[in-house]
Structure 1
């Protein structure tokens, strides 16, 4: 039979592998933290635990179904980040997340509610300029003003619960001209609400609506302006559906406020009836004491607004209690349809942008929202949502090629894609905010229509970090949680097994590897040396890859993963045995060592590929169906199986081929194939002699083969 044609390029194969090995180690030592140490799992080095306490808007206990759904979504986020060895368990009404390492921010990110809404921007105010307009007195902060309403003189109030009586004016208990007490309102103002200016825009002067917003009927008016001060969610925003990228426009000083219908302002000393039910102010003379506050406080002109929960206004009687009450009070203040309430809420929110947001993740997408940017520099008044996060088909992180900034790319589902295309076409020149858990992530300006259902989010200024973009894309991709959660402080968890178990496992693996090498050297001699060299190179490649996986996808190596590595390296040794035994089969058929190597490789490689394919398939099924540490075992088993193919094809086969070309290594005393070659010679002799002596020769040959196999001589 003719010798099969085998393309042989041993030097090229070895050069490819060495280039790969050098490349991964350059990445290990020249990127990231430059430490050649893999990340260890919870069982080996401990980790960080964060408890997430579920919050419901009505204060009731969360359902078991909602908790199970939240657990599944967080587990999917864990897998999306590649954080192996993490645990997500339900503990009563809480979710407990444990991640390897000492960074609790990662666990908090995994527990983020991630409710994304796209809301048109109606108006906004710079936190810095609001503070300057208030003379440094922000809501609820001391500074000489009345508590809660910056700029009001001490002793003012009476009509507002919690403020002492002693003044009159348009607002009962406040002096005439007290409109200036609210930042941005001129003194001496009147209007639909006593004491507020006529023609008040949804907000205060300098808080105009954008053209085409739902609150302007889609019509642009001469009074429409961008807001004074501030730059949105910080710096530049991007809409990238068709490559459109643009800076957010600077907020400019306002022109004359835009009027909107209000009830006539009564003259001082007359009765004023506000739009609310039974919301009547008794006549007050300027400077006379106001009436005592009543339970269930109502600001004239602000019907139905309960003040409990408003910073600086303690409220009487109807004071909200507990988390559910605080959330309800925030909604009354920050999600009101009343333009006067919106103006007040915008100024109040500007003074507490750096405080924890009680409303986070609990805003109603069908109502307006007053909230802050993530950098705490701008307070926004936003229209109801036009697209929600559940309409996102896919989310990925990347880098904008023009600006070099990190971005999150979104692909909307078909229905939302049409809405987005129509909206952007009709609202060119206006700002649109992306809110995540009730906070503005980015608020860029639309410069052109964006068809195709694709867009992108930037992190404003200073922008997303690579990890921040990746984590945001991950939480958006797997959907929002059915509950909002309050994260506890991170606590350190000690290693469940510890370094002693790690050392014991490594020692066991080293002993097993040493036994394999000793057996290979005794049985295969020079081929055993090539086996050892191949295993060392395979181990070096595996180690470097584990370091890089820990650095870039947060893969953590636990004891189960180490077991997968040991079994995978054993599979690699099996591949060598298959190859070497095929070579011996060829020699028994009468071929020389030199000619047996390429023929043996041709037959062995099919078996090697088939065997590794079965192992990899089993590892893949185990990885996708298993959870916890079993998943880590399957991952390392699959990784070493792939590297087995690489090492056998690029290292072992070229080295054995080069050895077969060496006259010295081809000698039986070096390659350990002397007994096999003797069997081949006897077979040839039997074939030539024939006749009656054939049976004895054949029996003798079988005896020699059996003896050679039992004594390890080939």
Structure 2
């Protein structure tokens, strides 16, 4: 790897580095978004931090394994969404998601439980007249287009600001036009949209359920006693008793009393083996659903796309062999009926089955998707459902002001340090200090270009810890120059000229340089593997600059010094700053000559005697 003094001309190494530099900056300015700026982390750019509190059906504390599995799944979702610089950390019974940038919706949707089931639709109704509709949210509740934090956003459409539109008769969830897909759109006339209330005089009309088995007016309202975990468990139990009952009378009461705009205590905790009363994600329909026929765990792959023929976004699912066979049998025997896709206890889409789906074929979820909501839903389903149900207990916007102030202070400190290093090199090494400055500038430019490209290709973001790693790494590059120059001085002290000392000094110095950089890179790699969050950013940039240190020393510094040693101007002791070392070498030669002459005279006098 190391160049020798006689094999390849030093200018070829400089040319190779120039080609690499040209390629890097050509990619920076002529590919991708062509923005010559690296991506910044949350401490420099600002962003959103969401705290998710784990909920279990029995109110017990979540296990460590479940939290770690949820952390891994959400981290995979982050990677699937391409959210750069995000962190997912465990804090007690909570998961803390940090996402840089202005779009906080990504951070909020990453914690979706994503328990998907496919259930047969028994009946579909509109919300009861006594309940607020999607276009008329109750006080303190979000509109249908703005789901509460923690609720899935797929299938909802934001209501424009201004005058609120009048409540309309909702269209069925699967309002697509048939295009040969597995279950094209339903005909609204085939869906029972009449309220499922009992007839007058029916005992069910005046039936009062056991309070212990019914939900309160506000299922999300905490009870007056017990811990938060116990309250959450009680709410889930009450919601299950009402909305997952097998008693038709209880099902009718649940359909008539469910509030589609209130936070859902059952979110992600419904029992797939029991019926379910659930709202659509836009709050315009209430469904009575049968037990699940397919679990979301049977999804082999999921992707989003735009159907140009239908002019809408949709999510495409592929099941594993067992799920595919089940779906084929179900669609073949239920033509004309509806199948509901429920995500976290809400109905995302409920299209009508108009033909059997062959085993192995893809299935589409349709709804009022945007490109972003379809992509988020596909990513969530693709990477698995969480082992726990989470509630968004806290969401805050992180300002970049403090981070920018720290950045300015860090860059100022780094600049002062580098200037002092250059001043020292200029004073101590004279003109060789200019070669040090040139090498550091080229190293800095190469690092900057690579950081820009890494931001585009792998969504690498630069934060304060990463900048600290860069400054340390560039300082180590200066150390390599010092090792090389001191080896040259050692050779000159032994009596060699500047021209002959450079290749011999390089042969000795490159081993030390490679050894030092190897130790630094191993330390950075181990730190990156064992650490998390910003510490990983520090280790990554430290390892990157360590590799570039070797590249710059071998392709820039060594060739430049070699060329300088062949120049009469640079070989002058007053120019290269090696005059004092050369004088020491001359003094040693004179002392050696005097010693030799003295020994010769002593030997001659001994012989004469």
Give the TM interval when normalised to the shorter protein.
Answer: 0.5 to 0.7
CA distance in 2, matches of 1:288, 1:514: 91
| 1:537-563 Cα deviation digits (max 9, x unpaired) | 333444455567678877665554443
| 1:122-160 Cα deviation digits (max 9, x unpaired) | 5786xxxx66xx9xx756249xxxxxxxxxxxxxxxxxx
For the Cα contact (< 8 Å) 1:230–1:377, is it kept in 2? no
**Residue of structure 1 in register with 2:222 after alignment:** none
Displacement of 1:621: 1.5
CA distance in 1, matches of 2:422, 2:479: 12
- Aligned runs of 1:42-441 on 2, under 5 Å? 48-58=48-58, 60=59, 62-63=60-61, 65-66=62-63, 69-70=66-67, 73-74=70-71, 77=74, 83=85, 88-90=90-92, 104-112=104-112, 114-119=113-118, 121-122=120-121, 140-141=131-132, 229-231=172-174, 249-252=184-187, 293=206, 295-296=208-209, 308=215, 324=233, 326-332=235-241, 334-337=243-246, 356-371=263-278, 374=281, 384-385=291-292, 388=295, 417-423=320-326, 426=329, 435-439=342-346
For the Cα contact (< 8 Å) 2:294–2:327, is it kept in 1? no
| 1:404-448 Cα deviation digits (max 9, x unpaired) | 999999999xxxx44235435545678877654234567898854
Query: What is the CA RMSD across the aligned residues, in angstroms?
Result: 5.8
3-state secondary structure, aligned to 1:615 = helix
For the Cα contact (< 8 Å) 2:87–2:97, is it kept in 1? no
CA distance in 2, matches of 1:607, 1:442: 65
The correspondence for 1:449, drawn from 325, 341, 359, is: 359
- Aligned runs of 1:644-683 on 2, under 5 Å? 644-656=549-561, 659=564, 664-665=569-570, 667-673=572-578
The structure with the largest alpha-carbon Rg is: 1
For the Cα contact (< 8 Å) 1:50–1:487, is it kept in 2? yes
CA distance in 2, matches of 1:397, 1:101: 24
CA distance change for structure 1 residues 73 and 329 in 2, over 3 Å: closer, same or farther?
A: closer
Which has the higher relative contact order, 1 or 2, with Cα contacts under 8 A spaced 6 or more apart?
A: 2
The correspondence for 1:485, drawn from 390, 414, 429, is: 390
CA distance change for structure 1 residues 506 and 287 in 2, over 3 Å: closer, same or farther?
A: closer
CA distance in 2, matches of 1:460, 1:448: 23
For the Cα contact (< 8 Å) 1:13–1:654, is it kept in 2? no
Is 1:624 matched up with 2:529? Answer: yes
Which segments of 5 or more consecutive residues in structure 1 lack a partner in the other structure? 143-182, 185-226, 238-244, 258-280, 299-304, 313-320, 697-714
CA distance in 1, matches of 2:331, 2:594: 98
Which segments of 5 or more consecutive residues in structure 2 lack a partner in the other structure? 134-167, 193-197, 220-229, 601-609
For the Cα contact (< 8 Å) 2:294–2:326, is it kept in 1? no
3-state secondary structure, aligned to 1:490 = strand
CA distance in 1, matches of 2:23, 2:31: 12
3-state secondary structure, aligned to 1:508 = helix
Displacement of 1:400: 9.6
3-state secondary structure, aligned to 2:40 = coil
CA distance in 1, matches of 2:551, 2:363: 39
| 1:310-345 Cα deviation digits (max 9, x unpaired) | 899xxxxxxxx9755654454345435567877887
For the Cα contact (< 8 Å) 1:236–1:458, is it kept in 2? no
CA distance in 1, matches of 2:312, 2:578: 63
CA distance in 2, matches of 1:339, 1:628: 52
Displacement of 1:247: 7.6
TM-score (structure 1 length as normaliser):
0.57
**Residue of structure 2 in register with 1:39 after alignment:** 41
When you count helix as a share of all residues, which structure comes out higher? 2
| 1:82-111 Cα deviation digits (max 9, x unpaired) | 646776423xx7666666666554543454
3-state secondary structure, aligned to 2:271 = coil
The correspondence for 1:17, drawn from 21, 36, 57, is: 21
Displacement of 1:531: 1.9
CA distance change for structure 1 residues 557 and 684 in 2, over 3 Å: closer, same or farther?
A: same
Is 1:615 matched up with 2:528? Answer: no
For the Cα contact (< 8 Å) 1:6–1:598, is it kept in 2? no
3-state secondary structure, aligned to 2:552 = helix
For the Cα contact (< 8 Å) 1:597–1:660, is it kept in 2? yes
TM-score (structure 2 length as normaliser):
0.64
Displacement of 1:11: 1.6
CA distance in 2, matches of 1:230, 1:459: 8
**Residue of structure 2 in register with 1:701 after alignment:** none
CA distance in 2, matches of 1:583, 1:401: 69
